[in-house]
Structure 1
Amino acid sequence: MPHQEFAPGLQVQGFTPPLRLSQFKLIAFDMDSTLINIECVDEIADAVGLKEEVAAITEAAMRGEITDYKESLRRRVALLRGVTVADMELIYTSRLELNPGAEALVKACKAAGLKTLLVSGGFTFFTDRIRDRLGIDFTRSNVLEIESGPNCGQLTGRMVDQPWGDICDGAEKRKMLLETCSQLGISPKQAIAVGDGANDLPMMGEAGLSVAYHAKPRVREHAMVAINQGGLDRLLEVIRS
């Protein structure tokens, strides 16, 4: 079914707006280029002069041209060796911004009683701060390994395995969405999933409402709502409180 233009820069398919927020109990967000304005791994790479190289891999992964997301992330993280925690702190304070409408959408969802989930192929250094800033209920993302000893405070170029697995990729995002729904005692059809890249498609496919935000063409094609212009809070034009 093709998208219909609901309003300028806002397309829908598979349902007739408006829906009501009260129909849903959970909203899940990707972070990089969805809740926030940057791809963190690309900006970290800038600290060692490799942004262009890393960004090219990121872009291919987000378009779905790289089938092994985990391997693509390992390749990118390996190039980050030697970046310091101070470098990452500077990225957070000087480059990272919430995308327009992010705070308004999260606030509206929380006011309507929805729980919030942040699932990211990015890193806990940033997701923990966004979690605290927005009051997100649940998160899952990757941990960058940091040197101890003489090079204390520098990245090793590796990630740390976690109790749930090694890397938060598309399959892990889907798994976390389903686990959170089970924990809350709700159906995945009572969840909304918002993302922009190919690794968001598995969780978007499980959710009752899938939302593409300024997304890659493949993601827009599969989403029930495509926000192509304006902020995240444009979702509130098709789903009312």
Structure 2
Amino acid sequence: MAEQHTSPPPTQSRPVMAAARRSSSFLREHQQYRPPSKPENHYGIDTVVEDLQAHSVSPPRDISSAFKGIPSPENPPTVVEGQTHELSHPNCTPLPGSVTNRLMATLFYKSTAPRVSNAIPSPKQVPSPKTSRSPSLRAAEPDLPPTMAPSSSLETFPLEPPATEPEPLDHLYGSYVSPMCIASFLHLMSTFPLPAGSSDLHSAHRCLHLDPAHKEHHPLVVELTLSPAPAADYLPLKDLRKHELIYRFEREWNVDVALRSDTLWRRYPRLVVFDMDSTLITQEVIDLLASTIQDPPDLAARVADITHRAMMGELEFDSAFRERVKLLTGLPGTLFNELRPVLDVTNGVKPLLKALQRLGVKTAVLSGGFLPLTSWLAGELGIDYAHANEVVIDETTGRLTGEVKGRIVGKERKRELLIEIAEKEGIPLEQVVAVGDGANDLLMMEAAGLGVAWNAKPMVQMEASSRLNGDSLLDLLYLFGFTQEEISQLTA
């Protein structure tokens, strides 16, 4: 029987890691726990690190829409290290086919005239008949509540006590155009209706003048751009300037608010017309003349009273001027020359006129005073045009006769002269500015593109399109959008 050979069992080969199972991580190959193939809702750090190549934890971002340079919630602006850049696209140039409808508001803080609280105190008790109250009650109430009349007689007290003035908020938040002041103004403007089709009010601001005396350089003049302007069919700009909320805001924050439409002509005036008395100079010439007359002794006071009432609009200017000139009968004609050194030019006038001349702006003075002094002052200041009243001087005695030659330069004549000068120079009225303080200046202010009341009488402040109540007439340049730095260059 043949011997049967049996082959030895095959030798088991050494385990070899398949290529599909090989990894560059020793720990991964020898760990006992393997994470699931797909990440769960809760991602641990191990899952994120180990399966980062196979799975994306963050949702994919759609980058198909190209960034067009306009910040939006989907494409927010990026701040690059080392610089800060702010974009205010709603106030940039309008879209093709649309028209700019922006309102410019210039806020002037009246630092030279800080307002104190004008709150009306409770009225003091007025003695009333003994039958009204017992003596013990009258002694126990020396000061009545502000809501009660202090008398039992309606003839001695009005039916309602005077309304209290708003508290001066600049005392609380800073004696300058503070951030709270700007925020309050923007909130106020947001209460006015917008034009049809507009839903949001956009704004931007810039400081035009900083307080050099304060170490933190607080802003004293701030220009705000509001887009769009309030609906003109609901509240025209002329009425918006007189709105009681605007007036109350000015009282609260001790500021003047100048509102103008943002037009091309706002930044490029070509003719500026000034009143003379109490505008270019701080005095009234006719009062200076009257003060030289000693007999009668009350003449100066009588003339000053007529002047004040005429400037307030209580008297018709032409007749009031003739009445005052009549009182000056007998004064020597040489007195006009003697008054030249006495004239006090308003602060800021000389640098203002220098700046206007460097800008190529024509200037004129239209005065309800006297031509000899007006012409002389215009020559001294370099003003291009000068018009005023001519008084009659007796050739024999050399003294005033108390009469006026030709038409009185009153409110109607001032408007006519402004229009004549503008037509002669080929300047549209939109580029004309008129500055004055009295009621006889209102018509020329209305004819000009911009009328500015300078430390004016109450009625003039209310009727003029803008008002300035500072201590320097140089502030006029801020209404054109010039900054403090630019004004310094113009007046250097």
TM-score, structure 1 normalization:
0.89
Partner of residue 61 from structure 1, selected from 310, 320, 327 = 310
Cross-structure match for 1:117: 364
Counterpart for residue 15 of structure 1: 260
**1:30 alignment counterpart:** 275
Contact 1:21 1:112 in 2 (8 A): no
Cα offset for 1:170? 0.3
Tell me which residue corresponds to 1:134: 381
Q: Could you tell me whether the CA contact under 8 Å between 1:12 and 1:224 is conserved in 2?
A: no
Q: Which has the higher strand share?
A: 1
How far the C-alpha of 1:16 sits from its partner, in A, is: 6.2
SS at structure 2 position matched to 1:34: helix
Q: Which has the higher contact order (CA 8 A, sep 6+)?
A: 1
Give the structure with the higher percent helix: 1
Residue aligning to 1:211: 452
Determine which of 168, 172, 194 is the counterpart of 2:435: 194
Whether the 8 Å contact between 1:70 and 1:167 is mirrored in structure 2 is yes
Distance 1:110 1:69 in 2: 32
AA of the residue aligned to 1:48: I
Larger radius of gyration: 2
Q: Which runs of 5+ in 1 are unaligned?
A: none
Aligned to 2:419: 178
Task: Give the corresponding residue for 2:20.
Answer: none
CA contact (8 A) 2:108 2:257 kept: no
- The answer for the alignment partner of 1:225 in structure 2 is 466
Normalised by the length of structure 2, the TM-score is 0.45
Q: State the distance in 1 between where 2:448 and 2:106 align.
A: 22
State the Cα deviation string for residues 152-203 of structure 1 (Å, max 9, x = none).
Answer: 2x11111112xxxx11000000000111111111211110000000000000
Partner of 1:52: 301
CA contact (8 A) 2:281 2:344 kept: yes
Alpha-carbon distance change, 85 to 226 in structure 1, aligned in 2, over 3 angstroms: same
- Matching residue of 2:50: none
Structure-1 residue corresponding to 2:408? 167
Compute the RMSD of aligned alpha carbons. Answer: 2.0
Q: What is aligned with 1:77?
A: 325
Shift of 1:17: 8.0
C-alpha distance 21-90 of structure 1, shift in aligned 2 (>3 A): farther
**Paired AA for residue 371 in structure 2:** T
Give the SS at the match of 1:100.
Answer: coil
Query: What letter corresponds to residue 109 of structure 2 in structure 1?
Result: P
**Equivalent pair of 2:412/2:443 in contact (CA under 8 Å):** yes
- Aligned partner of 2:369: which letter? G
Aligned pairs, number: 230
Q: Which ranges in structure 2 are unaligned for 5 or more consecutive residues?
A: 1-104, 111-254, 487-492
Provide runs of 4+ in structure 1 moved above 4 Å.
Answer: 16-22
